[in-house]
Amino acid sequence: MTQTMFQLLGRMAVVDRGGRAIGVRAAKQQAILAVLVLRPGGVVSVDRLMTELWPEELPATARASLQTYVYRLRRTLAPLAGHGVELATLGNGYTLTVPDRAVDVRTFEQRFTRGSQALAAGGAAEAAELMRAALELWRGPLAPGIEVETVLCERRRLDAMHLTASELRAEAELRLGLHNSVIPELERLVEAHPFRESLWELLLRALAGRGRRAEALAAYRRMRDILSTELGIEPADRLRRRHQAILEGASS
């Protein structure tokens, strides 16, 4: 298996092909590296990087400090040059060349996309496998502790993708008849995301599919109370139809 050299899901880490850590310790160097990894092959201008690092007010030494950070970062990454990693100056900016397979974020996104496509095409088993593989890469939100604009935006996007991946894996496993293994995870997810009606619908399907009709009805009542109390709305039509079907004895 190819070593993931740039790990941004969870606390950021850089390792060589042998798994040995490559230390990027300075906070601003970490921020520069995160921005460049998230913009692979693209030129990030000096002005953009300075704004990322000093969003409130640029110090007089900002440009010189940035050049020093990049110089040190280039030296730190030098051992990875033989693996297709290169930090280069291009015009009035910097670009990082790094293979997609060496970045956990890229691998996560690729597995998510392939899994989504497989599920849409009716390949539940393949979709479940790909979504599990994607979720195994998730060590936590993107680069916690690095609070620059690019990272914040990507963190929100990837958090949403992670939740959708969990939902699609549950959908695939339900299609495979794996109701019992899905229910505990769905119960955890609705506790963490009580306003996400699609998760509640999956939980209702899973419980009803195992003949746990009373629990499914209780879950619906709990969801309806949460939506009514917290948001002042009623469940969506599809959920009301699902509830009616369960009342009438439907199991899926």
For the residues of 44-63, what is the DSSP string, one character each?
A: EEHHHHHHHH-SS---TTHH
Q: Is the pLDDT confidence value at 2 over 70?
A: no
- pLDDT for 98: 93
Between CA 239 and CA 57 the distance in angstroms is: 50
Structural domains for the chain: 6-99 (1.10.10.10), 178-252 (1.25.40.10)
pLDDT tens digit sequence for 9-25? 999 999 988 888 998 88
pLDDT tens digit sequence for 188-219? 999 999 999 999 999 999 999 999 999 999 99
Question: Is residue 38 within a helix (H) or strand (E), and if so which, with residue range?
Answer: none
Q: What is the pTM of this model?
A: 0.92
- pLDDT for 16: 87
Between CA 172 and CA 177 the distance in angstroms is: 9
pLDDT tens digit sequence for 163-174? 999 999 999 999
Between CA 234 and CA 189 the distance in angstroms is: 20
Question: pLDDT-derived band of residue 250, with 50, 70 and 90 as boundaries?
Answer: low
- pLDDT for 1: 41
Burial of 226 from C-beta contacts in 10 A (0-12 / 13-18 / 19+): middle
- pLDDT for 191: 97
